[in-house]
Amino acid sequence: MPNTLSNTDFMQLALAQGRLALPECLPNPPVGCVLVQDNMVISQGYTQAPGFHHAEAMALSRLTNECSAVTAFVTLEPCSFHGRTPSCALALINSGVETVFVGLLDPDPRNSGAGIRMLRDAGITVIVGLLAEETAEDLADFLVSKPLGSSDRNDQ
């Protein structure tokens, strides 16, 4: 009988993806995303250099099939606004993802819960806080060095 991975396992994989983003993603957070269908990873991604793909967009761009019955595991709340890159929350909505697990809410006041609201308003199930402590450890330098409203955050 094959081993089945848990939601925690998939979020661990998303955290590992986020670590691949460093240092190129700076000053943006090193976010990771894993897309899962039928208990199998079908795509993954991490934040690219400022102005290029965020983790969710990278994972979605690598898909070879539809997003029906897909669950996304994202270490930081998907962005809700369009800056240098389009809204990741909107990209997830448009892809047809059904469920999104989020490690931490984004403290950036431009987002700060707005991405979660967008997803939920679109009928997507959102679960916040999976591996929150581990995610906070991975993002600690970013969260500490980027005060709320900091203009150093470059891409969004």
- Phi and psi of 31, rounded to 5°? -90, 145
Q: Which amino acid is at 155?
A: D
Active site residue 24: no
Catalytic residue among 56, 66, 134, 137: 56
- Phi and psi of 9, rounded to 5°? -60, -45
Q: Which two tokens stand for residue 115?
A: 């991405």
3-state helix, strand, coil in the chain (%, to 5): 30, 20, 50
The closest of 155, 11, 1, 6 to 83, measured between CA atoms, is 155
- Phi and psi of 155, rounded to 5°? -105, -55
Q: How far apart are CA 22 and CA 29, in angstroms?
A: 9
**Residues labelled catalytic:** 56
